[in-house]
Structure 1
């Protein structure tokens, strides 16, 4: 067995004078790996390569186009440390369990696999759900064909995540396997005395003709509502890679319910081959700062992509969604709808980019960002983009920014509702268009309750 830690020379950071980024890298590199053979060599190689990328980088600022509206000052004011293993009781799971997946759950706590809380006994043969360290030997030989292959260039936080890989969630569905039971990937932060940096890594592979469903859930232990701010800061820096081979289909529900002290920066990188279908239902309701980079790469014709998102911010929260869809083949379809509900001094950022080059003929792409401002101090920066050079396509994009319509509230009041109930009915309807796309009733109910709680006057 190898017991490796990539080496870091702090003097390397004198080039860019970014000691803070160097500190984060040191925290990540303190996570040891215990892989042998081909997998061990591969992990060491990608960790070192990514560490070198981080060394050459700086923390993004407003001078970087992709980050010009996202202020990371609050993150940089905190000194994060490596997490430790926590022993949580099963009672903790009561607030996170998915009724539809009682025996298809994989749990990581502070980045460490928890076999005691995990249970995948309901899943059939032909599908592996577990951690990277326990992956079947034949699949370990193929990991290098998938892990880090979707990682974008010049993205410092995903490189930071890779430099600290020591284990990972793995979902691997063999060819021709169809499973209706949702696979629940649950990451829980148990806050510690010192601020911690947690870097979950997820690898999902759907082989030819597979069909499956995944729920990726981020939450934190708390007494009462997790939205409360208690000065117990932590940073979740996550990366998810998804590979869908020919005619594979995945419905992906990504739920972010970090605490009011949580910083969350995440990457979802998806590679779609011919005739594959990918749908994401993304709900973001928590976190002090939330940033999600969604990167879709079409690697074959006739791919189908659906991007549904709802972000809700209040207080001084920041929520940022950056999506990029690259269509490189003909007959692809993309449908994107992302909504924001912004209250108090909440700040939302949306940047959605769809590239349709000349090779992507017969493409059908729509993109819409809708924003609801509930406070005069709330703000949204929105930038939907279509970059088209193909000449035989159907493409449309747009953005709307509005408040609750006075005539709609008046209409509901004329039907017997008071002003507060009328307001909440309109907000529930606005959010439900996204939440109701999730195919699990228990999760819909829980998220609907969260939205209602956050909009109480």
Structure 2
């Protein structure tokens, strides 16, 4: 089964207004995807609900990510699995994912599986394996003062965390796969560039898919890496995203479901490049969303795109 492919989509700007007030919810009981679906309202998709509960059960509690998880969970209550009858997926068959045994990846891989993974670049880089940030394999010492790149959960600066969390959960244009990422992300990788700071060399994100199912097993390990970039007024940064398989996994089955969100301040600049070199038996759904403050009115222009 070749990797899924979706032509990138660019849509007109929208104004973002929160529509849902989140309520405290009880954690659902755990059950596998193979069990009989529980009774839900008529607009619910039993398969999507089962997948959401399986992802929720695989996560550790996180105060920082709870708003994102809650909004994603609420969205999935009324979202069905897409078919070719849906316009965005008219040329894309997602039944490969739907008919697989989707398995959340619950822990980072052993370092033994990732030899010399950052030895091919001199750029500041960060390694994300199966959705987990590997700080020991990342090289970020050349970044300018004040620039932070790393895990939201391990950030020691309350100021940066508070600034990022102002935006988390406010992007409301996403589809099913956007929400699956939001409910399944173990952590969030943050890039924060202060006002007026220019990062000369692009930051290289290397996403590595380590877990993989064998042919005929129908097992499809899923990872949900999420990256949030905030560039304050007048700042500049370049982002390179590269998606690869672990060496020797060129024929394995897995699902990478990443999301990149970018907030660009007035007069700031972000350059973005994207490289994909993964197993042809894998599924890859990618969301990139950008919110940019205009020079004249201070409003937010929103650009969004999805590739697969």
Q: TM-score, normalised by structure 2?
A: 0.78
Q: How many residues align?
A: 269
Identify the structure with bigger relative contact order (alpha carbons < 8 Å, sequence gap 6+). Answer: 2
Cα deviation for residue 12 of structure 1 reads 5.4
Which has the greater radius of gyration?
1
Which of 266, 273, 277 matches 1:253? 273
Q: Distance in 2 between matches of 1:13 and 1:257?
A: 40
Relative to its length, the structure with more helix (as a share) is 1
Q: CA RMSD in A?
A: 3.0
- 1:34-433 equivalences in 2 (<5 Å): 34-35=61-62, 40=63, 43-83=65-105, 84-89=107-112, 92-94=115-117, 97-101=119-123, 104-135=124-155, 136-153=157-174, 155-192=175-212, 194-223=219-248, 228-229=250-251, 232-275=252-295, 299=300, 323=305
Q: CA deviation at 1:99?
A: 2.2
Question: Counting strand residues as a fraction of each chain, which structure ranks higher?
Answer: 1
Q: 1:20 to 1:247 in 2, by over 3 A?
A: same
Matched residue of 1:158: which SS? helix
- Verify the 8 A CA contact 1:33 1:167 in the aligned structure 2: no
SS of 1:179's equivalent in the other structure is: coil
For residues 188 and 81 of structure 2, the distance between their equivalents in structure 1, rounded to whole angstroms, comes to 25
Deviations 1:312-369 (A, max 9, x none): xxxxxxxxxx949xxxxxxxxxxxxxxxxxxxxxxxx99xxxxxxxxxxxxxxxxxxx
3-state SS of paired residue (1:56): coil
1:246-300 deviation digits (Å, cap 9, x = unpaired): 0101111111222112101111000111259xxxxxxxxxxxxxxxxxxxxx826
Corresponding residue for residue 435 of structure 1 = none
Judged with a 3 Å threshold, the aligned counterparts in structure 2 of structure 1 residues 323 and 139 are, in CA distance, closer, same or farther, namely closer
SS at match of 1:8: coil
Which residue does 2:9 correspond to in 1?
A: none
CA distance in 1, matches of 2:53, 2:120: 36
For structure 1, which runs of at least 5 residues remain unmatched after alignment? 277-297, 306-321, 325-348, 351-457
Q: CA separation in 1, counterparts of 2:60 and 2:53?
A: 15
Partner Cα distance (1:192, 1:85) in 2: 13
Aligned mates of 1:86, 1:13 — CA distance in 2: 36
2-structure distance, mates of 1:253, 1:174: 21
Could you list the runs of 5+ residues in structure 2 that have no partner in the other structure? 1-24, 30-36, 214-218
Q: Is the 8 A contact 1:34 1:166 kept in 2?
A: no
Does 1:23 pair with 2:57? no
